């Protein structure tokens, strides 16, 4: 790394003091879904997701909890209603990413749905949703815990995929792999799944 890159990467870690993340207080509108929550259940069926979610009855969102050390610290909700509002909503903003799985390879994707689908389709992976297309030192620190990493953002973020592959290598000192997808992971395109299996190891 150049001196400027080293300074840029070290500055956030120097400025931020480690602190315990507070447990999220569950808002009253987040409920355990029932068969009567048709929009929620239809959304889960569409993507082949089974359980582990809440339903925001006020904002009409499928809500994915985010845990840290066994405690719920944040949640990200996906709008499934008809009213005009942001597609994704963060409830506390305390979490920098969402992870699922306990494999040896870290697979980095954009959103929670892609992470869950990838976890279902691939073996030996831990999937990280970066919750958007922006990464920071918290993402890189987590990725650095794994010996192998693969980044596969959505096709419209192919430039970011290449950029972040280099960033991961600079931060971790380990080789990272990148895959240009033909479509979003959540669509389970056979070619993409096969390529990911090959990169992540069967």
The answer to whether 149 and 143 have CB atoms below 8 angstroms apart is: yes
pLDDT, position 9 = 61
Q: What is the rounded CA–CA span in Å between residue 161 and residue 172? A: 16
pLDDT at position 158: 87
Which residues lie across from 89 on neighbouring strands? 77
Residue 102 · residue 60 · CB < 8 Å:
no
The pLDDT assigned to 83 comes to 85
Per-residue pLDDT of the chain in tens (202 residues, 90 and over written 9): 555 556 556 655 555 555 788 999 999 999 999 999 999 999 999 999 998 999 999 999 999 999 999 999 999 999 999 888 999 999 999 999 999 999 999 999 999 999 999 999 998 899 999 997 789 999 999 999 999 999 999 999 889 999 999 999 999 999 999 999 999 999 999 999 999 999 997 5
Q: Is 115 left (phi over 0), alpha (psi -120 to 50) or beta?
A: alpha
Query: What string of DSSP letters covers 35-61?
Result: TT-HHHHHHHHHHT--S--EEETTTTE
Domain 96-202 belongs to what architecture? 3-Layer(aba) Sandwich (3.40)
Of 149, 142, 184, give the one whose Cα is nearest residue 166: 149
Q: Give me the residue spans of the domains in the chain.
A: 22-95, 96-202
Closest to 177 (Cα-Cα) out of 132, 123, 125, 134: 125
The tokens describing 68, both together, are 């840290």
Please report the pLDDT score of residue 20 as a whole number: 80
What pLDDT, on a 0 to 100 scale, did the predictor assign at position 123?
A: 84
CB-based burial label for 90 (10 Å; 0-12, 13-18, 19+): middle
Q: What is the pLDDT of residue 11?
A: 58
């Amino acid at each position: 790394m150049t001196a400027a890159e080293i300074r840029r990467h070290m500055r956030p870690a120097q400025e931020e003091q480690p602190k315990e993340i507070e447990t999220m207080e569950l808002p009253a509108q987040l409920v355990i879904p029932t068969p009567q929550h048709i929009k929620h259940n239809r959304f889960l069926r569409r993507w082949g997701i089974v359980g582990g979610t809440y339903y925001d009855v006020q904002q009409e969102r499928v809500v994915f909890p985010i845990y840290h050390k066994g405690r719920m610290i944040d949640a990200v909700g996906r709008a499934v209603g008809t009213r005009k509002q942001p597609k994704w909503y963060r409830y506390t903003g305390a979490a920098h990413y969402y992870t699922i799985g306990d494999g040896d390879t870290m697979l980095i994707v954009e959103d929670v749905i892609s992470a869950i689908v990838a976890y279902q389709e691939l073996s030996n992976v831990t999937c990280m949703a970066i919750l958007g297309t922006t990464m920071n030192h918290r993402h890189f620190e987590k990725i650095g815990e794994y010996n192998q990493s693969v980044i596969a953002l959505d096709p419209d973020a192919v430039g970011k995929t290449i950029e972040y592959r280099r960033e991961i290598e600079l931060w971790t000192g380990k080789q990272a792999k990148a895959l240009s997808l033909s479509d979003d992971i959540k669509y389970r395109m056979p070619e993409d799944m096969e390529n990911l299996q090959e990169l992540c190891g069967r």
